[in-house]
Amino acid sequence: MTGELHPVVALARRAVEDYVRNGAVTAAEPATPEMSERAGVFVSIHKRGQLRGCIGTFEPTQADVAHETVSNAISAATRDPRFRPVGVRELDELDYSVDILTHPEPVQDVSQLDAQRYGVIVESGWRRGLLLPALDGVDSPQQQIEICRMKAGIGPDEPVKLYRFEVRRYH
């Protein structure tokens, strides 16, 4: 990897490498003012351009973004049910991105969504599905909603509440 990583991305990488190599949980020291805030965080891991793991929190569950990043990075590498846990031999091939979410806000209808600008949360009772914004191959709010419904097991005719959020994305 060339260039210097943003501190939150460097923290995600370090957290995965420490955990996969040694079973150790990296100390979550906020390196920027933003990392001291409380927010939901998603950590995405890619290998050769393909998704290798992605886990996150809609809203904060930890003391700050640094702690949220460490927790979600380890989970993305080891607990994403779509993939086997990351192995030591893969570590040098992985790329990371970290999305820091704004607080979700309710929307009245799909006209208030934009697939490039806003992520979407679809909620029906206790079931919730989330999709980040600006994803390859997802070009419309309707696609976002459909994917969220599938992720949450919400049928196409079930009534839902819609929420939108923005992200600060770091690679």
- Say which CATH number the domain at 23 has: 3.30.700.20
* pLDDT per position as a tens digit, 38-55: 999 999 999 999 999 999
Instruction: Please check whether residue 2 lies inside any domain of the structure.
Output: no
Residues 128 and 163 in one domain: yes
Domain that holds residue 22: 7-101
One-letter amino acid at 112 equals Q
Last residue of a domain, one of 66, 101, 136: 101
Query: What average pLDDT does range 137-146 have in this prediction?
Result: 97
Residues 31 and 93 in one domain: yes
- Say which CATH number the domain at 163 has: 3.30.1490.150
- Please give the residue that has the higher pLDDT: either 4 or 146: 146
Name, in order, each residue with C-beta under 8 angstroms of 6's C-beta and a sequence gap of 6 or more.
Answer: 98, 170, 171
pTM, entire model: 0.93
One-letter amino acid at 65 equals V
Residues 20 and 87 in one domain: yes
Burial of residue 116 (number of CB atoms within 10 Å: 0-12, 13-18, 19+): exposed
Residues 54 and 118 in one domain: no
* pLDDT per position as a tens digit, 53-110: 999 999 999 999 999 999 999 999 999 999 999 999 999 999 999 999 999 999 999 9
Name the token pair of 47: 């290998």
Q: Which pLDDT value is given to residue 1?
A: 46
Last residue of a domain, one of 65, 82, 101: 101
| Separation CA 88–CA 58 (nearest Å) | 29
* pLDDT per position as a tens digit, 108-118: 999 999 999 99
Last residue of a domain, one of 101, 130, 152: 101
From residue 160, alpha-carbon distances to 12, 101, 148, 154, 155 in Å are 33, 21, 11, 8, 10
Total tally of structural domains belonging to the chain: 2
Residues 81 and 23 in one domain: yes
